[in-house]
């Protein structure tokens, strides 16, 4: 690629976003230069410099990127190309870039990269493009230029400690409502609230009480049937999600994780078990804890896949009849490429489903859902770009469907949102489920 972001023609028709446009309207080139120069001095250390200077523009990362492949191999969507159009130019010019450049770099870093790190696996030098895109987002956050929808979510985090503006009484009401619903099935079932010393502190993401309360119901049934000693808090700290990690607001991210960990420790719980979400797991297990100064989290953090694996392996829950419809499995980036839970997931699937059809490629080589990394949270203005930029995922799903798969299992909320849009847009006619949906359906109660 020869052109910089300032010299390149627009890739597509301009997408208007209130957060980007109104934020940029408050800036001058002098202000941009001042803020970016400070950022590079304070946080742009040897790691950033080494990555930018090491890249040989060999192109091996390109074939790993679903944006590049789905946009007819247009080089402006390649990982190296996106770096060159954003943080690479910032470093090259030592922060002396224009306001229009920041607007373009914001759109690229927030909506054309899922931070999935698939490209890192194929880079001969192990260059972490996701780190550099996050650095660019951090600069945009410092300048006040962030897509409106994801910034609103970050505001919700800062005001309520959850991403959906759920009030404390609404949270408790939801737990009690789901307990009452579940008692129709299991009369002695309880959702323990504020129980001290339980083995499991169970945390979920904000959309569950807001839109997917049935997942809390299902987990309560699973916990009860398995005889698990568990607990959920009544106070802020129940939401493990974290869009601030993706807006570049690391200060707010650290506050969120501090509240989450302190709530579990206040209740003297032995470990945190998280629901089926990838980005939240990444935030709690691998990122937020480090910004708080901990090499690892202060108590064990377990993703739902690990928890289901443990319950099935130890025969704490038993399967009545395996699911009859053929299924395929989407490997979420943050818990497979980032945590290595692919074989545990397949154990759970084979224990609960009669016919399992692999997508190709799979495991750590799987393509991203195109929703993660905060991209889906940038909202409706960028939906069409996100869906058309994941044609390769549609091809994966279509291949699995041709082999007989009727259900797609995705143990991650953002993956559900992304795959739901892909299935609808490409008219694939496949059903989407969480692992918990299937376990609840086939288990003995």
Instruction: Render pLDDT for 156-179 as a digit per residue (tens, 0 to 9).
Output: 999 999 999 999 999 999 999 999
Closest to 365 in 3D by CA, of 388, 336, 390? 336
When computed from its CA atoms, the radius of gyration of the chain, rounded to whole angstroms, is 22
pLDDT exceeds cutoff 50 at 10: no
How confident is the model at residue 289, as a pLDDT?
A: 84
Report, as an integer, the average pLDDT of 75-99. Answer: 96
Question: Tens digit of pLDDT for each residue in 104-129?
Answer: 999 999 999 999 999 999 999 999 99
Read off the DSSP letter of residue 443.
B
From residue 112, alpha-carbon distances to 19, 48, 76, 387 in Å are 17, 20, 10, 11
Question: Tens digit of pLDDT for each residue in 238-276?
Answer: 999 999 999 999 999 999 999 999 999 999 999 999 999
Q: What are phi and psi of 408, to 5 degrees?
A: -105, 120
pLDDT exceeds cutoff 90 at 422: yes
Asked if residue 345 lies in contact with residue 378, where contact means CB atoms within 8 angstroms, the answer is: no
**Rounded-to-integer distance, Cα 29 and Cα 78, Å:** 28
How confident is the model at residue 11, as a pLDDT?
A: 59
Percent of the chain predicted with pLDDT > 70: 97
**Rounded-to-integer distance, Cα 97 and Cα 6, Å:** 9
pLDDT exceeds cutoff 90 at 26: yes
Confidence band of 13 (pLDDT split at 50, 70, 90) = confident
Q: What is the residue-averaged pLDDT of the chain?
A: 94
Q: What are phi and psi of 16, to 5 degrees?
A: -85, 130
Closest to 352 in 3D by CA, of 363, 344, 340? 344
pLDDT exceeds cutoff 60 at 196: yes
Confidence band of 12 (pLDDT split at 50, 70, 90) = low
In the chain, the domains with their CATH numbers are: 18-146 (1.10.1060), 161-312 (3.40.50), 320-442 (3.40.50)
Give me the residues paired with residue 409 across strands. Answer: 329, 433
Asked if residue 134 lies in contact with residue 248, where contact means CB atoms within 8 angstroms, the answer is: yes
How confident is the model at residue 294, as a pLDDT?
A: 85
CB atoms within 10 A of CB 191: 24
What's the pTM value of the predicted model, to 2 decimals? 0.93
Q: Is the peptide bond before 361 cis (omega within 30 degrees of 0)?
A: yes
Of the given ranges (32-46, 159-173, 280-294, 397-411), which has the lowest mean pLDDT? 280-294
How confident is the model at residue 2, as a pLDDT?
A: 34
How confident is the model at residue 4, as a pLDDT?
A: 38
């Amino acid at each position: 690629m020869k052109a910089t972001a300032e010299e390149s023609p627009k890739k597509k028709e301009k997408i208007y976003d209130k957060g980007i446009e109104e934020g940029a309207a408050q800036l001058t080139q002098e202000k941009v230069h001042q803020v970016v120069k400070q950022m590079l001095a304070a946080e742009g250390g040897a790691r950033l410099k080494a990555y930018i200077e090491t890249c040989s523009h060999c192109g091996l990362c390109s074939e790993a990127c679903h944006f590049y492949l789905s946009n007819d191999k247009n080089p402006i969507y390649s990982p190296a190309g996106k770096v060159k159009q954003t943080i690479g130019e910032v470093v090259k010019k030592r922060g002396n870039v224009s306001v229009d450049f920041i607007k373009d770099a914001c759109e690229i870093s927030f909506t054309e990269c899922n931070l999935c790190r698939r490209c890192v696996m194929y880079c001969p030098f192990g260059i972490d493009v996701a780190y550099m895109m996050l650095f660019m987002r951090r600069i945009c956050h410092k300048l006040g230029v962030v897509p409106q929808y994801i910034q609103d979510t970050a505001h919700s985090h800062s005001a309520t400690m959850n991403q959906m503006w759920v009030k404390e009484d609404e949270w408790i009401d939801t737990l009690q409502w789901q307990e009452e619903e579940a008692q129709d099935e299991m009369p002695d079932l309880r959702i323990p609230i504020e129980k001290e010393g339980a083995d499991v502190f169970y945390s979920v993401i904000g959309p569950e009480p807001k839109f997917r309360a049935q997942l809390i119901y299902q987990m309560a049934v699973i916990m009860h049937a398995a005889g698990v000693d568990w607990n959920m808090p009544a106070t802020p700290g129940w939401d493990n999600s974290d869009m601030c990690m993706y807006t570049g607001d690391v200060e707010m991210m650290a506050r969120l994780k501090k509240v989450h960990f302190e709530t579990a420790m206040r209740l003297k719980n032995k470990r945190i078990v998280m629901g089926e979400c990838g980005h939240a797991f990444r935030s709690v297990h691998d990122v937020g804890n480090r910004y708080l100064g901990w090499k690892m989290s202060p108590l064990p953090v377990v993703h739902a896949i690990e928890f289901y694996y443990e319950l099935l392996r130890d025969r704490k829950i038993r399967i009545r009849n395996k699911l009859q419809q053929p299924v395929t499995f989407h490997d979420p980036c943050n818990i497979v490429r980032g945590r290595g839970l692919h074989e545990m997931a397949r154990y759970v699937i084979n224990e609960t489903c009669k016919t399992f059809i692999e997508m190709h490629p799979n495991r750590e080589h799987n393509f991203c859902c195109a929703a993660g990394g905060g991209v889906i949270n940038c909202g409706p203005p960028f939906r069409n770009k996100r869906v058309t930029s994941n044609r390769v995922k549609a091809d994966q799903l279509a291949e699995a469907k041709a082999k007989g798969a009727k259900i797609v299992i995705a143990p991650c909320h953002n993956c559900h949102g992304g795959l739901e849009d892909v299935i609808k847009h490409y008219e694939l006619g496949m059903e989407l489920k969480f692992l918990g949906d299937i376990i609840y359906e086939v288990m003995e109660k």
